[in-house]
Amino acid sequence: MTTIDMDSVEGFQLKHGSLIGGARKGCLCLSLRLAVLLQGLISVILLLSLTSILFLIPINSLGPAQKETITSSGYSFLLIRGSLGQYAVDIMNRYLPQSSLIAISEVISSLRSSGTEGKFVIFMLHVSILSSLASIFGAIGKSMGLIKFSIFSFMASQAFSIFGVFYAPTLGKVHGLQFLSNPVLLLTTLTIVIFYTMWYSHLLYSFYKVLRAGGNGGEYLSYREIIDRRNFLRWKTWKERELERGSPYNPSFSRSSEKDRLLKSSR
């Protein structure tokens, strides 16, 4: 049976009842900071590809043996977004069945033809891209303000996404897309959106708590463990200072009660 040194961090946690853990330490083998940074980069790439597919790539490029490209001069943002979208379309044409490609083409056509729904989707995608960019720069600069902004903007974009899932049957009736009223498809999409919202918001909030506790997100420690280590160092410094003064370390020792006892004995 192993014994715990009471003058160690573990002994301090055990003695003072601190909880070991406290939210996420990292993601798989990645630290919190690296996980937030990579997730932000992946989100930006996927969102740019999605905006290109929905509003930039020609609809007739979806389908087998189709390979149209977006031509643009220079290294502009439009060229980058178009290249990402074309690459995503090529993957979809290669691996998705014909029925799925037709359904996706119908959805894209309905979004482009409808003014209100299309503007709503564009706004939602821009908010999501802004949230991902804030998380990237927040992870690079270890900025609590940017991470906090990323959390709120991400939750807002996900709320729009959940609203879009519930609005999908109405959109399907207006544009004649019956598959958007499929309960299995709607329930699966809603489950994925909710699960992703909980997972990524917890990741961002854990990183924010670690930064607030004084960490940097790269030490693979939760915010409670960081606080415990900081408090342990303060306690150890205080104990060493008391020993240097010649006062025996005793947690139950009270200077005021000892002074009262001496005054009573002198009377």
| DSSP result, 190-226 | HHHHHHHHHHHHHHHHHHHHHHHTT--S-S---HHHH
Other CB atoms within 10 Å distance of the CB of residue 214? 11
Looking at residue 25, its pLDDT comes to 63
Which residues of the chain register pLDDT less than 50? Answer: 1, 19-21, 65, 67-75, 258-259, 261-263, 265-266
Q: Which of 20, 80, 14, 16 is nearest to 51 (CA)?
A: 80
Give the pLDDT of residue 67. Answer: 47
What is the separation of C-alpha 227 from the centre of its chain, rounded to a whole number of angstroms?
A: 22
**At what angle are helices 115-141 and 32-55 packed, to 10 degrees?**
160
Question: Under a CB-based contact definition with an 8 Å cutoff, are residues 68 and 58 in contact?
Answer: yes
**246 phi-psi bin (left φ>0, alpha ψ -120 to 50, beta other):** left
Count of C-beta atoms within a 10 Å radius of residue 69 = 13
- Distance (Å, rounded) from C-alpha 227 to C-alpha 244? 26
Determine the pLDDT at residue 135.
Answer: 95
The pLDDT of residue 82 is: 67
- Residue 51 has a pLDDT of 87
How far apart are alpha carbons 200 and 134 in whole angstroms? Answer: 14
Residues in the chain: 267
Q: What is the pLDDT of residue 68?
A: 45
- Give the pLDDT score at 74: 45
HSE, CB side, 13 Å, CA atoms: give it for residue 173. 5
* Distance between CA atoms of residues 190 and 208, nearest Å: 27
What is the C-alpha to C-alpha distance for residues 78 and 152, in angstroms, rounded to an integer? 28
What was the pLDDT predicted at 134?
96
Please give the Cα distance from 70 to 160 (Å, whole number).
29
Helices and strands (DSSP H and E) totals, the chain: 9, 2
